[in-house]
Homo-oligomer: A and B are copies of this chain.
Amino acid sequence: MENTELREALQSLKSTKVRMTPQRHAILEFLFDCEQHPTADEIYKALEDKFPNMSVATVYNNLRVFKDAGLVRELTYGDSSSRFDSNTSDHYHVICDDCGKIVDFHYPGLDEVETLAKHIAGFNVRDHRMEVYGTCPDCQKKLAN
């Protein structure tokens, strides 16, 4: 039930001074429904049937609101635009160099790395990010031809 997570997200927004609007609801819903990690523009395009007048700025603004509220993570890559991930639980990404596909995978216990970083660099550690890069199965087949 992904709706549970969505409900929790809506609930946690209510506790702040953030107002719930139809646009916000739709953006959040889309983020929690889709299993991918869409870009702001993909979200914008996906909702243009429902909200023909919605501005791109609204998408960006609200993604920032959600990010600040800790409901959404922003993933940034070199060339293209940011992607947004509604799954803020501990997980990592495997990314295809060729087609850009992103696959989630779970791995326990990189807390040790955080601890080490804290000791070595004296940082007050908040979070970490890890990504593995390579070629996805589909692209491996394509390249084999």
Copy number in this complex? 2
Q: Which residues of A line the B interface, CB within 8 A?
A: 74, 76-78, 82, 92, 94, 96-97, 103, 105, 107, 110, 113-114, 116-118, 120-137, 140
Q: Which of A97, A122, A125 has the most CB of B within 10 A?
A: A122
Contact residue among B125, B126, B134, B137 (Cβ-Cβ distance under 8 Å from A126): B134
What CA separation (Å) do A124 and B133 show in the bound complex? Answer: 8
> What are the residues of chain B within 8 A of A105 when measuring CB–CB?
116-117, 120-121
Nearest chain B CB to A93 CB, angstrom units? 9
Q: Which of A82, A117, A127, A128 has the most CB of B within 10 A?
A: A117
